[in-house]
Amino acid sequence: MLDSRRSFLKQLGGVVSALVGGTGLSGCLGEDDAQSSSATTRTQSAAQSAPIPLTSPPPSIPLTSPPPPDAPPAAPADNSPVWQPSPSIEFVEGVPGTVSVRDFVSDPDSDPLVITLNSGTLLPGLTWNPTNYTIAYDGRPLGAKDDAPIVVTGLTFTADDGRP
């Protein structure tokens, strides 16, 4: 078994040496020159008859500059504030009360809103509070008919969510 192993290793070394362009190994594993030269001849003839596997060169990788850093994500589209159709602001004459204008507008994106009274005139006893977006009635008589509400009309408001 030692001889067959030695022979195999000798043949393998010779094939490898022949493939890389060298000569057969001599004097390896305690062989004399006669054994070595016959082994070398066998190895070289085996190397000449054995097919040599061909491999293609690795593909060339073009050198390029690194990709630009990622652009910041685009801001989501903004939806404008939405007013209720035909909001009605009403008070009962003689009864003080407060109505929040904020109850008549919402923002689909849940952005905070700034509500502004743009135009219109309030009746005496009615006041606009721009801090908390309310219209307050102090309860003074305004001459309304019995059981008829005091309806606030002619006012124009805008709501701004602060986004373009």
DSSP calls for 38-107:
HHHHHHHHHHHHSPPPP-PPPPP----PPPPPPPPPPPPPPPPPEEPSS--EEEETTS-EEEEGGGGEE-
Mean pLDDT of 104-125: 93
Neighbouring C-beta atoms of residue 115, cutoff 10 Å:
19
The overall pTM is greater than 0.85: no
Say if 134 falls within a structural domain: yes
**Residue 94 shares a structural domain with residue 143:** yes
Q: Do residue 26 and residue 93 come from a single domain? A: no
Read off the amino acid at residue 58.
P
Tens digits of per-residue pLDDT, 28-61? 555 555 554 554 555 455 445 555 555 555 666 6
Q: Is 57 among the domain residues?
A: no
Give yes or no: residues 135 and 90 share one domain. Answer: yes
Domain count, the chain: 2
Distance CA 33, CA 49 (A): 24
Instruction: Answer yes or no: is 126 within a domain.
Output: yes
In a domain, 127, yes or no: yes
Q: What is the dihedral of CA 13, 17, 22, 27, to 10 degrees?
A: 0
Mark whether 99 and 153 lie in a shared domain.
yes
Query: Is 138 found in the same domain as 97?
Result: yes
pLDDT (mean) for 85-112: 91
DSSP-based three-state secondary structure for 21: coil
Could you tell me the two tokens for 156?
């124009």
Query: Is residue 133 domain-resident?
Result: yes
User: Which range among 13-17, 88-92, 98-102, 129-133 shows the weakest confidence by mean pLDDT?
Assistant: 13-17
Tell me phi and psi for residue 5, to 5 degrees: -70, -45
Q: Which residue range(s) make up the domain with 118?
A: 82-160
